[in-house]
Amino acid sequence: MAMLYTDGHSLQRSPFMSASESPIIEVRNLVKRFKHVEAVKGVSFSIPKGVCFGLLGPNGAGKTTTIEMMEGITRPDSGEILYKGTSNNPHFKQEAGIQFQSTSLMDYLTVREVLELFASFYKKPVPLEPLIHRCHLGEFPDQPAAKLSGGQRQRLLLALALINDPDIIFLDEPTTGLDPQSRRNFWKLITEIKQQGKTVVLTTHYMDEAEQLCDQLIIVDRGQIIAEGSPEQLLKTHFEQVFVCLNKHDLPAHLQEQMVDEGPNGQWVIETTSVENTLQDLIRQGVPLSSLQVRTPTLDDLFLKLTGHSLRE
Q: Report the CATH architecture of 50-58+95-236.
A: 3-Layer(aba) Sandwich (3.40)
With pLDDT > 90 as the criterion, what percentage of the chain qualifies?
A: 51
User: Contact at 8 Å (CB) between 240 and 273?
Assistant: yes
Give residue 250's pLDDT band: very low, low, confident or very high (50, 70, 90): confident
Q: Is residue 154 exposed (0-12), middle (13-18) or buried (19+ Cβ within 10 Å)?
A: buried
Q: How confident is the model over 296-310, as pLDDT tens digits? A: 998 888 888 887 765
Reduced to 3 states (helix: H, G, I; strand: E, B; else coil), residue 183 is helix
Residue 58: predicted pLDDT: 81
Distance CA 9, CA 42 (A): 12
Residue 307: predicted pLDDT: 79
Q: How confident is the model over 149-183, as pLDDT tens digits? A: 888 999 999 999 999 999 999 998 898 888 888 89
Give per-residue burial for 43-56: e unless 16+ CB within 10 Å, then b.
bbbbbbeebbbbbb
Whether 6 has a pLDDT exceeding 50, the answer reads no
Distance CA 136, CA 15 (A): 37
Q: How confident is the model over 221-232, as pLDDT tens digits? A: 899 999 999 999
Domain with CATH 3.40.50.300 in the chain: 50-58+95-236
